[in-house]
Chain A
Amino acid sequence: MTALEVQNLSVDYAQAHGRPFRAVHNLSFSLEAGRTLALVGESGSGKSSVLKALSRLVRPAEGRILLGGRDDVRGREYRRAVQMVFQDPFASLNPSHTIDHHLRRPLLATGRARRGAPADQAVTELLGQVNLTPAADVARKRPHELSGGQRQRVAIARALAPQPDVLLADEPVSMLDVSIRLEILNLLDRLKRERDLALLYVTHDLATARHFSSEIMVMYRGEVVERGPSDEVILAPKHPYTQLLAAAAPSTGATREQVREGRRVRQAARAQRDAERREIVVGDGCRFRPRCPFAMDSCVRRPPEAQVGPAAGGGSGHGALCWLYAEGAGKAPAATVPQQKPAP
């Protein structure tokens, strides 16, 4: 079941001079109940802008966001149904309130529990669900008395309190110690299954994106350049940017020779990447063009959304925004893109 559907979403930010800066460009996807979609990309690729639009913190310039098939859901109901887990559990909890307060408040505000004994019980249940026990002890504490992992569990419990349909997780483990990251991700995974949540996992870590999601979208400069089933996107990346990301991740199984060879290839490609810093105008063409080792003439025009996959054109839903995979590359008509000011 589709919990949240995003159609042709664009997000603009006003700039002091000239046109607004377009941070997200014409993005469409849907979040399904009980499934995880991973959104991967470097800083500045527009991941956070997507989250802000989905949580209604910014108003989209274009496009629609449909919750349960409706785009007229009122603010209060929308915010109950779409909850967020933030990156930094040290900043997202109020240091002057107890854990009990953090969980009780959304329960009461959204009418999920009555004051008194029912709320007490709901708080205990929430803490139990995120494995914070004994619940009574934890509830009495304030955030500074908890470790980073425990705090993130509280933040997750708080997001669950209004019984949301959609959970947006913005780099939920990148601030945590390595030894507990997987536990938090496993917890999110279990809650997703138990509560039939639609989970959007925003991260720059490809390895956990692959292991904890069924589908991956790769963003670059405000556009999705590749999307598809997790294993396909990671094991057989098609877009040159995804290939670059995959090559940058350390691989524990590599031999010294493979490591050295990888380094040589990357250094050779470095000249091209340097070019990006000097690049001023991208225009209508592929945004990855300045960094792309395969850039060719047709890349000055907007690349098509090509179906790729195991048997080319197979129905796995694996697609890449790239001329390399266009049918009869170069002949397909270039879609028109509104002129915009390039990234500064």
Chain B
Amino acid sequence: MNAPATGLTGPAEPAAGPRDVVLRARDIRVEYDGERPTRAVRGVSFELRRGEVLGIAGESGCGKSTLAYALTRMLKAPARMTGGSLTFRTREGEELDLLSLDDEELRTFRWTRLSMVFQSAMNALNPVTTIGRQFGDIFRAHRPDMGKDERLSRTRALLEMVGIDAGRTSSYPHELSGGMRQRVVIAMALALEPEVVIMDEPTTALDVVVQREILDEVERLREELGFSVIFITHDLGLLLEISDRLAVMYAGEIIEYAPAEELATRAAHPYTQGLLRSFPDLTGVRRELRGIPGSPPDLRAEPPGCAFADRCEHAFDPCRSSAPRLLDLGRPGGPWTAACHLNDPGHRSAAGAPTTEGRQS
């Protein structure tokens, strides 16, 4: 179990025992059917520990959202999961194989164990009924024993928990600001005290100040309630700050998996370095700013080598011919893995290529 996951693009097992792992994904593969299927997620593995924030970063079209839908088993045709396994370990210590749950089991599993805050969630509320009724629906569906008074008092408590006046239960969504609607949606996701919350770009449409308020709120609630978060966004700067560990996705694969705190200064994969460069630091020294030229590859065809090779300034011979595997870099504070030939001792000397270590200034 503790051997590096050879053949998978997922990270090696963390040093922590399996006990505090709440969600384990192994070699998840998702395709969008078509004449030539688009392989949107290509063998992703990771482990989410209880109470931690796992950040997933990457540009549009790298498979972040598709992965989130796969984790919640919400993929709809033409998307199809073609491989992998998903194990959820409940608070009570029961192991659930998510892929074998039937519809009814899924219905009870979702929201009570795992809930999701969707992209542009502020538009996720029903415009024609009040906030209170929408909370009521959740409890009627999942907690049929709850009485009317209890539903209302629980709704009021949830709203206050995210910093909204409890009197707002009778408000309609359009009477709230974007930031307030976002808080409502987060309160809904937490309504049944789930163990894992997946947040897919929950704050991208909001102002910086409001965004910051909501993230602080999530952080406070997480400390209070102890749920785990999978936080998906393209905003790497934000992820570095809020997550414990970070997975960077490119072309449907995790290409680097590292402790968030150190990633900013020691990113091992050229793509991660490029993403980091794409966000100028507010107070840092002025420097030449550039993004990552080019665009992600067409996932309908299997890239012969590294999927990032065409955009990579450090690409050398092996990058075009063989796909790099996620290798443990053996750094302290790990697991820290990266899928890049530059970090593979076997290639490094042969090519005379510089290591990526310490390039980030």
Contacts and interface: CB of A to CB of B under 8 A. Distances in A.
Interface of A: 42-43, 147, 149, 177-183, 185-186, 204-208, 210-211, 231, 234-235, 244-256, 259, 263, 266-267, 270, 273-274
A42 B207 contact: yes
A185 B289 contact: yes
B20 interface: no
Contacts of B95: none
Contacts of A208: 280
Contacts of A273: 213
A210 B60 contact: no
Given A147-B295, A208-B280, A248-B209, A183 B275 contact: no
Interface in B203-234: 207-213, 216, 219-220, 234
A250 B235 contact: yes
A177 B234 contact: yes
Given A179-B275, A248-B208, A267 B216 contact: yes
A153 to B, nearest CB: 13
Contacts of B60: 177
Contact of A254 (B210, B216, B241, B291): B241
Interface of B: 59-60, 163, 178, 207-213, 216, 219-220, 234-238, 240-241, 261, 264, 274-284, 286, 289-293, 295
Given A186-B290, A256-B261, A270 B240 contact: no
A42 B208 contact: yes
Given A250-B237, A252-B240, A263-B219, A178 B208 contact: no
Given A42-B207, A250-B235, A250-B240, A182 B291 contact: yes
A256 B261 CA distance: 7
Given A42-B207, A177-B59, A207 B281 contact: yes
A245 B213 CA distance: 12
Contacts, number: 110
Contacts of A182: 277-278, 280, 289-291
Residue with the highest number of chain A CB atoms closer than 10 Å, among B208, B216, B236, B277: B208
Given A177-B234, A182-B277, 16 more contacts: A177-B59, A181-B291, A182-B289, A186-B289, A206-B282, A207-B280, A234-B283, A245-B208, A245-B209, A248-B208, A250-B240, A251-B241, A254-B241, A256-B261, A266-B212, A270-B163
Nearest to B178: A43
18 contacts: A42-B208, A43-B207, A177-B59, A178-B275, A179-B275, A182-B277, A182-B291, A186-B290, A248-B212, A250-B235, A250-B237, A250-B238, A252-B237, A252-B264, A252-B276, A263-B219, A267-B220, A270-B216
A59 to B, nearest CB: 28
Contacts of A179: 59, 274-275, 278, 291-292
Contacts of A248: 208-209, 211-212
Contact of A266 (B213, B236, B295): B213
B84 to A, nearest CB: 27
Given A179-B292, A245-B208, A248-B209, A274 B278 contact: no
Given A251-B281, A270-B213, A273-B213, A206 B208 contact: yes
A254 B265 CA distance: 11
Nearest to A173: B291
Q: Which 5 pairs show the lowest CB-CB distances between chains A and B? A: A248-B212, A179-B292, A182-B291, A250-B237, A42-B207
Given A254-B241, A267-B216, A249 B275 contact: no
